[in-house]
Chain A
Amino acid sequence: MTPVASPTRDVELQGHYAGGVTRLAAYAVDSVTLSTLYALGASVVEYLISNVFGLSFDLADHAWLAASALAVWSFLYFAVPLAVSGRTFGSAVLGLRVVRADGRDLDPKHAVIRTLVFPLSFLLFGLGFLLILVQRERRALHDLIADTCVVYAWDARAARLRVLARAPD
């Protein structure tokens, strides 16, 4: 069994399909970030409406408005960074990147498609995500529909050098 943390192994795995654990961790970071930013944004909006326009406004009282705002914000949160760099905040933290199935960079069209079909993977108790474990290419349902995949992509060489530099003589 390989060690859990191995800088040398990480260098060799750059560009290879990412596994379910890292993708799940990236989604968790994105969810927390998205939610936090939404809450902050909603608070700012409520504050502005209350203090600038003098109206009493609570987004929680407007479920459809809140849901719509959340949906739009979620779409923007995922689609825009993916279209620009192929990464979301969570993907960047975990060193992942979304690319086309043939290895090419993700274009805006496929980034939008992927974001739109992403909720489909949650259907049937998350069966779409289980494909990551079953498939050799580790692609979820939304990846198969949008013709994308997720790979490891971070500066593992620099990370390895940092580890070597800190290693005791």
Chain B
Amino acid sequence: MDDPAGEGADRPRRPRRGLIGTVLGGAGGIVRTVASEVASDVAPSVVDAVDIDEVVRRIDVGAVVERIDLDEIVDRIDAQALIDRIDLEALLDRIDLDRLLDRIDLDRMMDRIDVDRLLTRVDVDALMQRVDVDGVIQRVDVDALMRRVDVNGLIGRVDVNAVVQQVDVDELISRTELGSVVARSTAGVIGGALDLVRSVGVGLDGLVHGIVDRLLRRPPSSVPGRPGPRGQVPPVPATAPDEAAA
């Protein structure tokens, strides 16, 4: 048909349909209208009549689940977005830490800790610098500590002879009052005279015997021997032994 106004140039042209097409289209419209009216009137009755529980009970959930591809579902979940939507503060507020800690077996947890590795990671120097040594010492009960010390056992372990060996007796006498005590405790002039006479006698003995040794061409002995067990004449020592005579 002609379009005298030219309006059809802007509107999409409908495809030409024949009579059958027009009839079918009209019929389809009628059916849809009827169907929607029927559904709107009938559906509530149908729904009311349907026992949903029975329907659900008759559904094989297992078979339905088996048919669900969980992997695909999980892949379609955006985990980060899900996490971003979680309110951690609110979540933590709902956690009963006391009950949580009560359920923790500390012994088992400690058994799993490698103490050596833990200690190797500890900076002992830095740790010690933070320790108030004076404060620690002030808190130590020295009296209680000393009561626990076995003084006798401690003394028993001391080698007194070794300690005494290191004492310089000459220095001790010269720097202390011990010398004057010894001098006052012994005979005065007579004791000193006897000491001198004896010492001079020993010196003269050495002198005379040295001369005799040279005359007899014997090796000189700076120190005479001393009596020993029968049959064992002790050799003339090069240096004098430390023991005094009985």
Residue positions of A touching B, CB distance < 8 A: 1-7, 9-22, 25, 93-95, 97, 99-103, 105, 133-134, 136-138, 149, 151-154, 156-159, 161-167, 169
Residue of B nearest to A103 (CB): B227
Interface size classification for chain B:
35 or more
Q: Which of A10, A97, A166 touches B183 (beta carbons < 8 Å)?
A: A166
Known A17-B226, A19-B202, A19-B224: A94·B207 in contact at CB below 8 Å: no
Given contacts A133-B212, A152-B202, A164-B179, 8 further A-B contacts (CB under 8 A): A7-B195, A9-B240, A19-B205, A93-B194, A97-B245, A103-B228, A134-B216, A162-B191
Task: For B195, list chain A residues within 8 Å (CB).
Answer: 7, 159, 162-163
A-B CB contact pairs (8 Å), 23 listed: A11-B244, A13-B223, A15-B226, A16-B223, A16-B224, A17-B225, A17-B226, A17-B227, A19-B205, A20-B205, A20-B209, A21-B207, A93-B197, A101-B227, A103-B226, A103-B246, A137-B227, A137-B233, A151-B227, A158-B182, A162-B191, A165-B179, A167-B174
Given contacts A17-B226, A162-B191, A165-B180, contact A12 B186 (CB under 8 A): no
* B residues near A10, Cβ cutoff 8 Å: 198-199, 202
The answer to whether A19 touches B206, judged by C-beta atoms less than 8 angstroms apart, is: yes
**A12 — which chain B residues lie within 8 A by C-beta?**
223, 240-242
Question: Which residues of chain A are near B223, meaning CB under 8 Å?
Answer: 12-13, 16
B180, B230, B244 interface centre (most CB from chain A within 10 Å): B244
Q: B232: nearest residue on chain A (CB-CB)?
A: A102
Q: Is the CB of B233 within 8 A of A7?
A: no
Minimum CB–CB distance from B167 to chain A (whole Å) comes to: 14
CB closest chain-B residue, reference A105: B246
- Output the least CB separation between A98 and chain B (Å): 11
**Taking CB as reference atom, which chain B residue is nearest A133?**
B212
Name which residue of chain A comes closest to B237, CB basis.
A16
Residues of A within 8 A of B233 (CB): 136-137
The verdict on B134 contacting chain A, using a C-beta distance below 8 Å, is no
- Interface of chain A, main secondary structure: mixed
**Across the interface, which residues of A come within 8 angstroms of B194, CB to CB?**
93, 95
- A157 to B178 Cα, complex, angstroms: 14
Given A153-B245, A165-B179: A4 and B229 interface contact (C-beta under 8 Å): no
In the bound assembly, the distance between CA atoms of A100 and B229 in angstroms comes to 10
Query: Which residues in A have their C-beta under 8 angstroms from that of B242?
Result: 12
B27 proximal to A (CB < 8 A): no
User: 8 Å CB contacts to A: which residues of B181-206?
Assistant: 182-183, 186, 191-192, 194-206
Find out whether the CB atom of B182 lies under 8 angstroms from the CB atom of A19.
no
Specify which chain A residues have a CB less than 8 angstroms from the CB of B230 in the assembled complex: 101-102
Residue in B183, B203, B212, B225 whose beta carbon sits within 8 Å of that of A162 in the complex: B183
B186 to A: closest C-beta gap in Å: 6
Pair A162/B245 contact, Cβ less than 8 Å? no
Using known A-B contacts A102-B229, A161-B182, determine if residue A9 contacts B202 with beta carbons closer than 8 Å: yes
| In the bound complex, CA of A20 to CA of B206 (Å) | 9
A13 in contact with B203 given A95-B198, A156-B244, A159-B198 (CB within 8 Å)? no
In the bound complex, do residue A18 and residue B205 qualify as a contact, i.e. CB atoms below 8 Å apart? yes
B179, B203, B227, B246 pick with most chain A CB within 10 angstroms: B227
Give chain B residues whose Cβ lies under 8 Å from the Cβ of A11.
244
Known: A102-B229, A151-B227, A164-B170. A2 touches B206 (CB 8 A): yes
Give the residue name and chain of the B residue nearest to A157 (CB): B244
